[in-house]
Structure 1
Amino acid sequence: MELTEQAKATLLAYQQTEITEHQIYMRLAQSSASPDNRRILERIAQQEREHARIFTSYTRQDVQPNTFKVWFYYLISRIFGFTFGIKLMEKGEEKAQANYEDFAEMVPELKKIIQEESEHEAALINLLDEERLRYTGSIVLGLNDALVELTGALAGLTLALQHTKLVALAGSITGIAAAFSMAASEYLSTKSEQTAKNPIKASVYTGIAYIITVLILIFPYLFFGNIYVCLALTLIAALLIIAGFNYYISVAKDEPFRARFLEMAGLSLSVAALSFGIGFLMRTFFGIEL
């Protein structure tokens, strides 16, 4: 069948997408330390190369992979984990794959490609084993506890102390002490459970997540003078952390974003508002003026 210029241009775009994904999967396979993950990634890469070959048989033209996308998704995968990077890439290609059906009569093999993209490939991706996703629960524990506890503490300290540096000092001491406490609790909890998780690694993930959150939340109090501006920036930072982490989980683990975000945001802001009120009452009751 003779292709129109428009049809050929569309098939060439699909062809470039497949060969680009082939390159991404091959790069990730080469950088994977796990033999099992490497085999899975290489298998998907071969599948993508076969898809590109099918398109080439119709376009009769070779295309180069999109170098920007290759490096973008490779770096995203290296920084945030290959499961996140791969699923983010696949989500970005869903619209293109949905349009494959428009050419199903022209390219009969597209039915096979669509099936492999939606079923076989998804099943292979779910077989990938990544350490950071196994310890997601520990990270959630550290983040959630730090967000709820420290936003509340900073809100209460803001009204009680009325001094940015004092709030930063008190918040830092409280946060770091709590981080070590949470890490120790996670170690004991994981050790007592019958899981494949390493107790030391679980405690480290929890402690690091907690400390990073503490540092971000107290940052405004170190560089701004207005106590209420600092509190507002801290609450905004808390919402951004919640949004960013829940977006990561929603992509990497195919979980709903909206419900998780609203739940965590509601808890953190509610505790902050309650603590702010307690700080006001304590300041008034004791008659403290700093």
Structure 2
Amino acid sequence: MATTLKKSDALRQQQNEIDDYAVYTRLAHLAREEENRELLRQIAAEELEHYRFWEKVTGERLQARAWVVGLYLFLARLFGLSFALKLLEKREEGAEDFYRQLFDTYPEAKTIYAQEMGHEKKLLGMLKDKKLLYAGAVVLGMNDALVELTGTLSGIALAFDKSTVVGITGLIMGIAASLSMAGSAYLEARENPAEGLEPATYALYTGVAYILTTVLLVGPFFLFTHTLPALVLMFAAAVAAILAYNFYISVARDEPFWKRVREMALVTFGVALISFAIGYAVRNWFGIDI
């Protein structure tokens, strides 16, 4: 049975197609590897064909929205091509169902649907993105900082009820640990070389991820006089970091988001709870009141 197509729906899809064409075209200019540039040009050509199909249906000409193109260019520069393109692909998932409903009304929709489902995803999966090679380094630095510092800060906060003391102690420990982690990451990458992986860059990603996480977790202790509100804000920051990082990985690597969040949160807060209990026991056993 033929589906009645509303012009507003057609115009919305037409707008998405021209937006996608502009995004892929601009990203092709930014790509350093010739293979990536060619893949992006192929995808852009498909999106332009899809737009022209809708232009015939609606009889209207549209321009790409500058803010949409700018957003995806920003994400590509910051997080890499794979993340930006796969996020764009997730936005297009609704379009696949839309095209499937139009098979009887517009035979061309079958070709577009096949391209959206198959060829485009295959191309995106073939993209070579160096930033993804270093995702393991970010995991190493960020996860280690989350586990160690939430646990350490929780224990110290129960032993010493002065936020500044806890903050300074955590900052010193975090900086020292980041240098240690960066050195270990360098040696690990050198001893276990991977294609396209630079040991120095791997170490830099690890160290920077550790330091940034340290600043995020320690910061609250310089904002409050007492440790309790600082601890609450620290845990909120840790949750935000876990959500943000796992959102990136789930998009870039097509991995389950909530499963990763649960695992990382369980380890992080499990260690923090144990350290919290140790700090409480130490404070009461030695009668510390600082």
Query: What CA deviation, in whole Å up to 9, does each residue of 1:166-195 have, x standing for no partner?
Result: 101100111111111111111111111141
Give the match for residue 44 of structure 2.
45
Bigger mean CA deviation after superposition, 91-100 or 41-50: 91-100
Matches within 5 A, 1:1-290: 7-196=6-195, 197-290=197-290
Partner SS for 1:41: helix
Superposition CA RMSD, Å? 1.6
Contact 2:138 2:206 in 1 (8 A): yes
After TM superposition, the score normalised by the length of structure 2 is: 0.94
Bigger mean CA deviation after superposition, 251-260 or 51-60: 51-60
Residue 261 of structure 1, CA deviation: 0.4
Query: What CA deviation, in whole Å up to 9, does each residue of 1:243-272 have, x standing for no partner?
Result: 110011111110001111001101111111
What amino acid maps onto 1:286 in structure 2?
F
Residue 227 of structure 1, CA deviation: 0.8
Bigger mean CA deviation after superposition, 38-47 or 210-219: 38-47
Contact 2:161 2:226 in 1 (8 A): no
Question: Which whole-Å CA distance do the structure 1 matches of 2:227 and 2:193 have between them?
Answer: 47
Question: Which whole-Å CA distance do the structure 2 matches of 1:33 and 1:94 have between them?
Answer: 28
What amino acid maps onto 1:112 in structure 2?
T
Residue 289 of structure 1, CA deviation: 2.3
**Structure 1 moving runs of 4+ over 4 Å:** none
Residue 60 of structure 1, CA deviation: 3.1
Contact 2:79 2:131 in 1 (8 A): no
Question: Which whole-Å CA distance do the structure 1 matches of 2:118 and 2:226 have between them?
Answer: 55
Query: What CA deviation, in whole Å up to 9, does each residue of 1:202-238 have, x standing for no partner?
Result: 1111101000000000010011122101011101110
Question: Which whole-Å CA distance do the structure 2 matches of 1:235 and 1:134 have between them?
Answer: 29
Residue 10 of structure 1, CA deviation: 2.5
Residue 58 of structure 1, CA deviation: 2.9
Question: Which whole-Å CA distance do the structure 2 matches of 1:266 and 1:286 have between them?
Answer: 30
What amino acid maps onto 1:222 in structure 2?
F
Bigger mean CA deviation after superposition, 59-68 or 211-220: 59-68
Question: Which whole-Å CA distance do the structure 2 matches of 1:44 and 1:85 have between them?
Answer: 14
Question: Which whole-Å CA distance do the structure 1 matches of 2:77 and 2:71 have between them?
Answer: 10
Question: Which whole-Å CA distance do the structure 1 matches of 2:23 and 2:178 have between them?
Answer: 37
Contact 2:242 2:265 in 1 (8 A): yes
Question: Which whole-Å CA distance do the structure 2 matches of 1:192 and 1:158 have between them?
Answer: 39
Partner SS for 1:103: coil
After TM superposition, the score normalised by the length of structure 1 is: 0.94
Contact 2:175 2:211 in 1 (8 A): yes
Question: Which whole-Å CA distance do the structure 1 matches of 2:238 and 2:171 have between them?
Answer: 16
What amino acid maps onto 2:71 in structure 1?
F
Q: Matched residues, percent identical?
A: 41
What amino acid maps onto 2:205 in structure 1?
Y
Residue 96 of structure 1, CA deviation: 2.6
Question: Which whole-Å CA distance do the structure 1 matches of 2:232 and 2:12 have between them?
Answer: 46
What amino acid maps onto 1:200 in structure 2?
A
Question: Which whole-Å CA distance do the structure 2 matches of 1:64 and 1:35 have between them?
Answer: 28
Residue 8 of structure 1, CA deviation: 3.5
Question: Which whole-Å CA distance do the structure 1 matches of 2:234 and 2:224 have between them?
Answer: 11
Bigger mean CA deviation after superposition, 123-132 or 145-154: 123-132
